[in-house]
A and B are shown apart, each in its own frame.
Chain A
Amino acid sequence: MNINAHKGMAIMGIKVATRYRWEVVAAVAATPLALVIYYYLWKSIYAHTGQALIRGFTFEELVSYYVLSMIVGFFTWSEMDKWIEHDIIKGDLVKNLIKPFGYISSCFSFELGLNAYNILTQMIPVFIIGFLFFKLPIAPLMVFLGFALSLFFAFLLYFGLAFLLGLAAFWMKKITGLRRARRIIVAFFGGSFIPLAFFPPWLQEISAYLPFQYIRSVPILLYQQRIAIGHSLLAQAAWVVVLYTLIYIVSRKAMRKAAVVGL
């Protein structure tokens, strides 16, 4: 494996990220806004319900949940399907295929570069905002390490899902609708809008068989020490194996399908 080539792709990812630095500023500026909304919404619901504990969450724990949800969201974000769709439509795929490493690994290095930038500019500021204004507890070292590893697995899963969906562009060309649906489905079944504990039991059961909770909910619950570290990491690793096997199969078919003429 050519490490220098991957380093080059990662640096390119960082450069692309810095091109959109005002987006980053907007995202960081908007984070407290989103948290203020959840804070007031749940404050009024807890006061109205008159219970300190709802579905196993105190008010403070639920606010922390949303802070962590944003942190996980910033780290695991991937728009790989958009880049693949772009490559197909513009006919740029061939440029990536002739690079001295596999398509998926070049994409992965590129996204890793983007996310390294996100850690510095988005994740860390949100952590600080969470600690200072929303009483985000500091987890013990072992839990924090488990959380970091879980985050990495979550990134692998989200990237894999986005890549797999991006491969649909080899057949459909335009996948704008699928991309939008992917974002919403992952956020919903991942527990970004509301913790999965609030879902009715039948929906919780369905979501247990889907990979989405391992992208958002599991790292959050792990940080909050609601689930066992070892079991969670194993389940995430198993999903990574399943997903990347699927990617291997579909990408072989996709490459045979590729015409590389653009639209």
Chain B
Amino acid sequence: MKYPKLARAMFAIRLSNAFAYKANFIAICLAKIIGDLVGPLVAIFIYANTQGIPGWSFEQFLLFQGTFIIIMGLTTNIAIDIFWNVHIAVEFGNLDKYLLKPYNSWLYLLSISVNWEGLAEILLGTALVTYSAIKLNIPLSINIFLYFILIFTALVFMTSIYTLISAGSIIAVKNEALNNLFQRFLDFARYPADVYGTGVQFVITFLFPLAISATFPAQTLLHGTTIKGLATMILPTIAFFIISLAAWSYSLRKYSSAGG
């Protein structure tokens, strides 16, 4: 239980820090909401002028967008700052202070990397998903449970990615470019996987399972899935998670403490 306790304490500290600049705090929340409203607004404009995205009605696409926003919010809350914490610590040669503590280094860094900034996104995403689900008359069924499982899987995938990039930081010292490149890759998840060609679909389903970051949870909530389908969605993420932890351990063995 020590890690959740640590995460709670850090969450409270970061929130108090943010409150020190109240106007900035409000502006950050508003910027997050404005940023996340862009996707649904663009969807409204697309559907107002065209037949929309094949296989997705307007409400279904809103549900997709809401799901993506929730996952991004959760990622902001839990995973993103592990990269920044590691990146800064490595640059100044301070990572040792984390490694010397009597904790598992990865879990410790994950615990102290919690961030409140995703809360506004989670609220907005939940509102969008709820609105679309009501409009689409989605019944109470096992699909809702599977939807939450897949959202959790998506969070595991995103955490794995940031762990991998952080491991890269430990080895390469400066690694912002890789993070920026990943942000661009992440844009593939902003639209349903079926709009892309089969090659891209294969990559974002099996090799770099970005489709878990919205397409799979939304599709499962809307249409359900099979055991085989579920395995196809979850197993690549588990593989990715194992690889990221292996990369983390490898990078720590290579850590020089020299800064840069």
A residues lining the B interface (CB < 8 Å): 20, 22-23, 25-27, 29-30, 33-34, 36-37, 40-41, 44-51, 54-55, 172-178, 180-181, 184-185, 187-188, 193-194, 198-200
Contact = CB atoms under 8 A, between A and B. Distances in A.
A248 to B, nearest CB: 24
Given A40-B195, A172-B21, 9 more contacts: A22-B176, A23-B176, A26-B181, A27-B180, A33-B188, A184-B34, A184-B35, A194-B45, A198-B49
B6 to A, nearest CB: 25
A200 to B, nearest CB: 7
Interface string B160-194: 00000000000000101110110011011011000
Given A44-B53, A45-B51, A45-B53, A34 B187 contact: yes
Interface residues of B, number: 41
Contacts of B242: none
B188 A50 contact: no
B27 A178 contact: yes
Q: Which A-B residue pairs are the 4 nearest by beta carbons?
A: A177-B27, A30-B184, A177-B28, A22-B177
A131 to B, nearest CB: 21
Contacts of B195: 40-41, 44
A34 B184 CA distance: 7
B182 to A, nearest CB: 9
12 contacts: A22-B174, A23-B180, A30-B185, A44-B53, A51-B50, A172-B21, A174-B21, A177-B30, A184-B34, A187-B38, A188-B38, A188-B41
Given A193-B42, A194-B45, A199-B45, A48 B190 contact: no
Given A22-B177, A173-B21, A198-B45, A44 B30 contact: no
Contacts of B196: 37, 40
Given A33-B184, A40-B196, A198-B49, A176 B24 contact: yes
B15 interface: no
Interface of B: 21, 23-32, 34-35, 38, 41-42, 45-46, 48-54, 174, 176-178, 180-181, 184-185, 187-188, 190-191, 195-197, 200
Nearest to A197: B49
A199 B41 CA distance: 9
B50 A33 contact: no
A46 B197 CA distance: 15
B51 A181 contact: no
Contacts of B35: 180, 184
Contacts of A22: 174, 176-177
Contacts of A175: 24, 27
B52 A200 contact: no
A37 B191 contact: yes
Contact of A181 (B27, B174, B176, B188): B27
B159 to A, nearest CB: 22
Contacts of A199: 45
Given A29-B181, A34-B184, A176 B53 contact: no
Contacts of A30: 180-181, 184-185
Contacts of A54: 49-50
Contacts of B188: 33, 37
Given A176-B27, A177-B31, A184-B35, A40 B200 contact: yes
